[in-house]
Structure 1
Amino acid sequence: MDAQAGWAGVRERVIAVEEAQHQARGWGPPQHPVFEPALTAAEIAEVEAQYGVELPVEYRTFLAEVGAGGPGPEIELTSLRRVVGKWGWVWEGGDPILLDPSGPFVETEEWADQQLATLRAAGYEPTTRDEDEDYRHDYLEVFDDAEHRIWHEERDRGAILISDNGCGMTSCLIIVGPHRGELRDRDVGINPPYLPIVDAHGNRHNFRTWYLEWLERREREALGPEDGGPGSQ
């Protein structure tokens, strides 16, 4: 799949899947718009200016051609909205989640070094490295009640929450750093490493390949060849 290609027909395909599933369950047509409105070029430029970044092209074109939120892996995408004058990513009506663009997204194998640097910058020499959470206990010692917020803010720096998949599972899209445009999965409930999201051949997904793989699977499940899904004549 061409990462630079547009999104022609994708919005209509997703809506068709949603309508087919509602009909199959006897729910009638969806009662609310399937997608958030698409963003204008000026609005996308405003987002990028606010954060001082350029969004990955696959995601930027999705925002412009499909919508600023809607169905997607695995439950739905977070919605990019302007709230009280600032752009952020919103999940289920909660407070906007902001991007911290101050540094690159830190891969799991480099995370302990990031924690060390933060603790030493606070004038603290780390003493305890936990088997699963590296220097989390030292963060608690140094930052007290702010530890949870600081730990998560630093861990997610350079990336956005692109979908909350339920049961503590989340997916993020990397915006800053050498792996910009790639996606990572993580079970925040048990704090494992961030895992690259890959296709059946082990190739790392970008936003476009990830979204289209999900859509094609949904079409196979909801429509099938006899109902107009991929492979129908």
Structure 2
Amino acid sequence: MSGKFKNRTYEEELMDDLAASGPVISQTLKELETINKWLGGNFVTIDGIVKLIRRRNPEKLVIADLGCGGGDILKLVAHWASKKNLNVELVGFDANPHIIEYARENCKEFSNIRFEVQDIFSKEFQQREFDIILCTLFTHHFTEKQLTGIFKQFKSQAKIGVVINDLHRHPLAYHSIKLLVNLFSKSEMVKNDGPLSVLRAFKRKELVQLMNDAEIGRFTLQWMWAFRWQLVF
């Protein structure tokens, strides 16, 4: 396997610029929602929630989505919960106020979804508690040291559990998304960040090591289509 995929890259994505704003943000978020829908990656998150509550009968769930983007995951959860007659309170967090502005407009038809501009490293956020924490295509934005602290933090914040849905660093995943975005994307951010996100992503042994470093003994890690890891703890 090429050395390019041996280790994670830490090159920042354009999306990491918290001041990013304007038409590129809305175009990017629209395209990401379409990509995740058609590649089936969103199912990974819903399936993770199902696994967490399988042996429970919750009257209400408070679910946080970190790095929520345009809110497409929360819309998906809201539809799923409605079909299951589950009472859910859904809160999306992002550190970029321009993304939150887009998300609020994108999800305005859902009374049980709200959004907050928040830094997950802030003391204010660290004092919050939720039933379930979701991270979809979010954890690859951080270093191993940061993730160890984040996962330890999640243990005290999530009453039921955490669902991580992120990418598998693999040549086929990289070249496939690069071809896809170059053919169809109108967003320079998507063209840059799509392939780069794969290079920032994980192999199984790296996620297992992160769980060990965070002293999390009970977790499940499953590979799912398309080149996604589902980590539930």
State TM-score, norm by structure 2.
Answer: 0.22
Higher RCO (C-alpha under 8 Å, 6+ residues apart) = 2
Which of 1 and 2 has greater Rg?
Answer: 1
State TM-score, norm by structure 1.
Answer: 0.22
Tell me which protein shows more strand as a share of its residues.
2
Tell me which protein shows more helix as a share of its residues.
2
